[in-house]
Structure 1
Amino acid sequence: MSILLLILVILSLSVTQMLMGGNHIAFCLPGYGLLALAALLSWWPRRRTLIPRGATECLVAALLFCAYISIRALFSPEQYLARTDLYNALAGVLLYLLVALNLTSARWRLLLVGAILVLAVINCAIGAVQFTKGEFVPFSFLPHPVYRNRASGFYGYPNHLSGFLEIALMLGLGVAFWSRCASWVKVLAGYISGATLLGILITGSRGGYISTTVGLLVFALLSLVLVGKLASGRLLGVLFASLLIISGVAWGVKQVMWKSSFLQTRAEQTLTVDASRMRLWQAAWKQFRLQPVVGTGSGTYLYYGRQFRNPAIHTDPIHAHNDYFELLGEYGIIGLICAVIFVETHLRRGWSSLTRRVEEGSIFQGIGSNSLALTIGALSAAAACLTHCLLDFNLHIPANLLTAAVVFGLLSTPGEGPETHVSEEEPGLSPLLRLGLPVLGILTLVRILPTAPAEYFAERARALIAQAQRPESVDLNIALESIAQRGLTWNPHDPFLHYAMATALATQGDLASDPTKKEAFYTEAVESYRQQVAAAPGDVYALLALAQGLDTVKQFAESEPIFARAVELDPKGGFSHLAYGQHFFLQDKLAEAETQFHLAFEFGAWEPARFGLNQVQDKRREKTEGASPAPATN
């Protein structure tokens, strides 16, 4: 049965990662469903196995953290936004418990690490093509943003690829240097680690460079501690060999960097202050001050990042680019305390296991230990991951969250072989507690299955909206309307599906030649926009879409307060002021339109704002020329 659980876990990691890291809900649900299935199957083979008492503190900390995130998500003001964190929390704790309580054998864990290394190799291969040849999409049916020649692998975003590769690198180094595996396995793990380091370099992720350096330093320090304890007579030789390895790696990194001016620039900027990220953090801090104890709710940085944005931030601030600040803003002091307890207990547990095994040095017999290798790799990977969280939203990506869950699962129950041995002085916990894992699996299925069809149709609608020919094709918009309608039958409160419906209807209105049909399409579109706002009342872009739809049918009096509300929620957003300016221009209120276009230009919407200002000037010129007295005639 353990092999079946291992297969399901590996499939979950692989599927989630291949679907753009699961960064859309539809892309992470298949992997989460596999984890729930594994949880349901986990109880029977271990139904009589005691839970090691030494792991109690870690397990309680993990369940406490997951419980708080889940409860806060259920009581958050925007359920559409909150469900992402809810699903991630449930899936993360499922995988964590599977590793901590079921996949406890060093053999199974090494196979799991091997699967992670295989995924790292595949990502590096894809990233190499992207780095050398430009845009490359692994699967044509997935959206894939372009990041010049930066490697992004399956993820579509280079920083998230580096977040995964740094974890794989540390686990691979643990196997290469400290495991009892066959020599060819250790050499292979070493080669893969080198390829993974190269993959991190070509992502161009400055956060990845910093976090990888921290992870490597932690790995080196832990290794030196072990060498000093277990082979003190060889310490000088090991130090010399380590210096040679470090020098060789540094030389190789330098050679790679010198062959790319882009990588040189990224490396030179690594330790410079990133003002844009600091501005995003400031917005999260202002968000935290609104509700410091429990936070403003799951996913709400999307709204407050706009409301508190710095004028220099011109892109949509979807995330704070710092998992800790975002956690503090959305979940408050309680959420941060739960996170600190979770991290501290696991790091302490890993360190205690390490020092205990050092004291039992006779078991190594000079050839290493598989559980020791996993513990050193997991501690180093945790250090890298936690560092990267300071600089990005790494753990908001489902694939990386699941990989981190594996790392902390390894730390919670480190040991040689199955964690089933308990001493008479310290008996284990009742096996009945293992029923909690299948119960969590059932809860996860109950949450995700009803939303899965709607998410599937939402993803199909998203792909249709992105097609360049859609604005000129009646057939494509009819298909989009049909897909959105089918999705809404499953979830009538999905704001994106209402937006897709409204977009399809509005575009059909644009293409219609019959004025009566045109008006009917526009009226139906406005109703869909209203449904979108009802489902996501704090979304600035939903408000702007509704207001612009009302302007299309000349209902300016009704759209005016909606535009004002949008500007209130996004006071320094260039496109909010741009849309408001267009609203005034349509009513021939040129002074008000000019004011809004100037604000739009100030806040980053330069080209469309300049076009709007030119329109205002042309309109005024027409009025002036039209008001000039006609020349006298004889």
Structure 2
Amino acid sequence: MQVDIQRMDEVLEKVCLALLCLILVFSTLAFGAVRATEFAVATGLVLLALVLWLVRLWIAPNPRLLWPPVCWLTLLFGGYALVRAHFAPVQHEAQEEVLRVGVYALFFLWALNNLYRQEASRWVTLCLSLLAVGVSLYAMVQFVTGDTMVWHLFKPATYAQRGSGTFAYPNHLAGFLTLLLPLAITFTLAGRLNYPTRIITGYAALIMLGGIAVTLSRGGWLAAFVALVLLAAALFAMRQYRIPVLVILIVIFLGGIWFYGQAQEKIKRRVAAAFDRGHDRDPRWRLWEAGIQLWQDSPWWGHGPAHFDLVYPKYRQPVNHTQLRPNFALNEYVNTLVDYGAAGVGILTLAVALGLGGGWRAWRALSHSIHQEELRGGKRAFLMGAGIGWIGLLLACVTDFHFHLPAIALTAFALLALMCGHLRFATERYWVPLSRPTLFFFSLSLLMVGGFLGVRAWRSAEHAYWQRQADRAESGAVQLAALHRAWEAQPLSHWVAHQIGEYHRRKSWRQEGDYINQARTAMEWFQRAIELNPMDSYALIRLGMCHDWLGEHDLAEPYFLRALELDPNNYYTLANMGWHYFQRRQYRRSKVWFAASIRLNWWDNPTAYAYYRAAERLWHEKP
């Protein structure tokens, strides 16, 4: 019977390994799992993995957990995020963020406790190398052909001339490949692999370099360069790897010269843009300045999970480069400071330090067990490659928000878990035996947390699905029905409330049926949107417009003024201030607001142009 249990456990361990690879491959190929529907699938796979974990614990004769100090920090940050979300001003965004944090935390703990053998590291490295090859080749095709699609969806037009692979944002591909590139190189040089497998990982490393190049990501290039320098320095210290390292550096140098010759103009434009000053400087600098100001408003606890985009408009700079919605600060550290404050950043910093420190400790232990100049067995090769890859990703986070992309976060935490799993070669002190009562309590806690996250993920996916159906609807009735289904799935979504209000407002303005009641209905939904998101200037503007439409100009003005207070340097807010005074027939005053709006957006602002000309004509005609 004991043999049967051991075989069953071995089978379950292999299933866990296959499931880990499936999660990483799916999340990467499915647009980075950035959309709620794809992330729900990844969440379901993680929950299935937790069930397998519990089965393995319950069939084991002596169940135990591998629980290094980083696990406590993981739980601490998860709890901190949950508390901060509970007190956040906007619940919808905060809860969506907590869902992802919870999934990442459970995924890390599961991978750490189920895939700590050397075979797991080898197979995960090979899987990720092949995945990176496919994504990089796709990015090269996009770069050469100018393809504007990612699978069947269009990516933003500004990235049409850059390779992004299966991600919408080229910089995310650069960060993803920077994380994996050192791992492919160390396994090629030092892993205990047969020659065909080494050829595969070596080929993967070369293709990854090409993939990073075609992203035209300046931050990605710099992060990859630093990671390669660190890797070369570490390998060069070992005598038997000096010649291979020199060969690799020469190949990279020659490849860089060839690529520069092929894409010289694009590279020059990208590099020159990084050094622009004055009005044309990179919007990143403006976002970082605004982010620091936002953090100073709430330095210890932050504004709330996923709140940067919600609170940013108050500090938007009055230039045309800041008019679009940023979503993130384009700097993971600034973004995290704004969302979680110094306390949250401190917990995360300590967690990452303990995780990478665990890998370093395992490296030291393995150094004493084998010859000092060898990376025999692949253990140290994995630790070196994964550790330097993490350093490269952390450097790339200075210019982008890589950990907000689920595919990158899941891949990074999988590698960190496998690194920490190597601690079992350094010490036995982190194994925690579980008695049956303790195992029962642990299992119950895991099922409760998993069930909570599963329900959240399902509702989030359902909400996103019906929103997409509303966007695709060809008739107003179908669109309204889909929006109400989305509202039922997620009644905390201020954006859905705004969309329902906008549907009724437009119907009222077309004077279809009882337009007064339609306007009143729209106002009710806009009021709900404001209650759910007090920082939503757009709902305030729409509510004021409905009052103006009904001739209630005095009631409308406070809403426009409040919107201006929340987003004072937005061309849309300024244009609607002008529209409000135009309705009040204060044409001279409205012209001032329309002119200010045009100064911030002169390329796509038809409302301000049209009303400015109308206000000028009516002002001259006014007796």
1:143–1:463 Cα contact (<8 Å) kept:
no
1:593 and 2:606 aligned: no
Which position in structure 2 is the counterpart of 1:242?
Answer: 245
CA contact (8 A) 2:148 2:154 kept: no
Shift, 1:156, TM fit: 0.9
Quick one: which amino acid aligns to residue 129 of structure 2?
A: L
* Pair 1:354-2:354 in alignment: no
- Report the more deviating stretch, 88-97 or 431-440: 431-440
Query: Is residue 2:110 matched to residue 1:114?
Result: no
Equivalent residue for 1:336, pick from 345, 358, 367 = 345
Identify the residue that residue 540 of structure 1 maps to in structure 2. Answer: 537
> Which of 288, 296, 305 is matched with 1:298 structurally?
305
- The answer to whether residue 24 in structure 2 is matched with residue 13 in structure 1 is yes
Listed one character per residue, the Cα deviations across residues 202-256 of structure 1 (whole Å, up to 9, x for unaligned) are 111111111111221222222234x1xxxx4x4xxx4344223202211112212
Preserved CA contact (<8 Å) 1:166 1:211: yes
Superposition map of 1:176-191 within 5 A: 176-191=188-203
Report how far residue 299 of structure 1 moved.
1.7
What's the CA shift string for 1:284-333, capped at 9, x where partnerless? 11111122111121122113221112223222232111111111122111
For the residues of structure 1 that align with 2:469 and 2:569, how far apart are their CA atoms? 30
**1:457 CA drift (Å):** 4.0
Which residue does the alignment assign to 1:632?
none
The answer to whether the 8 A contact 2:284-2:329 is kept is yes
Amino acid at match of 1:43: L
Deviates more, 1:606-615 or 1:190-199: 606-615
Gaps of 5+ in 2: 1-11
User: Which stretch shows the higher mean deviation, 570-579 or 539-548?
Assistant: 539-548
Cα separation, 1, equivalents of 2:617 and 2:570: 29
Tell me the equivalent position of 2:46. 35
- 1:258 matched to 2:261: yes
Say which is worse superposed, 7-16 or 36-45, in terms of deviation: 7-16
Q: Is the 8 A contact 1:42 1:438 kept in 2?
A: no
1:554-590 deviation digits (Å, cap 9, x = unpaired): 4433321111111101111121111221122122211
Deviation at 1:437, TM superposition (A): 7.3
Match of 1:631 in 2: none
Q: Letter of the aligned partner of 1:198 in structure 2? A: G
Q: What residue in structure 1 maps to residue 601 of structure 2? A: 605
Amino acid aligned to 1:4: V
- Between 584-593 and 198-207, the greater mean CA deviation after superposition: 584-593
Identity %: 22
Q: Within 1, Cα distance between the matches of 2:113 and 2:230?
A: 27
Q: CA RMSD in A?
A: 2.8
Paired with 1:399 and 1:382, the residues of 2 have a C-alpha distance of: 14
Matched, 1:86 2:92: no
Within 5 Å, which residues of 2 pair with 1:465-480? 465=471, 475-480=474-479
Q: Are the counterparts in 2 of residues 96 and 409 from structure 1 also a CA contact under 8 Å? A: yes
In structure 2, the CA distance between the partners of 1:352 and 1:263, relative to structure 1 (3 Å rule), is: farther
Determine which of 281, 286, 303 is the counterpart of 1:279: 286
SS in 1 for 2:328: coil
Distance 1:372 1:132 in 2: 38
Confirm or deny that 1:525 pairs with 2:525.
no
Instruction: Summarize the Cα distance change of 1:297–1:265 in structure 2 as closer, same or farther, 3 Å threshold.
Output: same
Structure 1 residues 623 and 322: CA distance shift in structure 2, 3 A: closer
Structure 1 letter corresponding to 2:363: L
Separation in 2, partners of 1:383, 1:115: 21
- Provide the C-alpha distance between the structure 2 equivalents of 1:350 and 1:504, rounded to a whole number of angstroms: 55
Distance in structure 1 (CA, Å) of the matches to 2:318 and 2:45: 44
Distance in 1, matches of 2:340 and 2:619, equals 55
Matched letter for residue 341 of structure 2 = G
Match of 1:321 in 2: 330
C-alpha displacement at 1:356, in angstroms?
Answer: 2.4
TM alignment of 1:292-441, pairs within 5 A: 292-312=299-319, 313-362=322-371, 368-414=376-422, 419=424, 426=429, 428-431=431-434, 436=442, 439-440=445-446
Q: Which moved more, 1:309-318 or 1:441-450?
A: 441-450
| Residue pairs, 1:123-134, within 5 angstroms | 123-134=135-146
Question: SS of the counterpart of 1:429?
Answer: strand
Aligned residues of 1:461 and 1:500 also touching (Cα < 8 A): no
Q: Which amino acid aligns with 2:263?
A: S
> Structure 1 residues 546, 374: CA separation in 2 closer, same or farther (over 3 Å shift)?
farther
Residue from 207, 229, 239 that aligns with 1:217? 229
TM-score (norm 2): 0.89
> Number of paired residues?
599
Q: Distance in 2 between matches of 1:547 and 1:212?
A: 50
Shift in Å at residue 371 of structure 1?
1.6
User: Any unmatched runs of 5+ in structure 1?
Assistant: 628-634
Q: Which amino acid aligns with 1:531?
A: R
2:567 maps to a residue whose letter is D
TM-score (norm. length: structure 1): 0.87
* Alpha-carbon distance in 2 for matches of 1:153, 1:251: 24
Partner of 2:271: 268
Moved more, 120-129 or 577-586: 120-129
Give the letter aligned to residue 39 of structure 2: C
SS of match in other structure, 1:311: coil
Distance verdict in 2 for CA 1:340–1:594, change over 3 Å: same
Superposition map of 1:186-201 within 5 A = 186-201=198-213
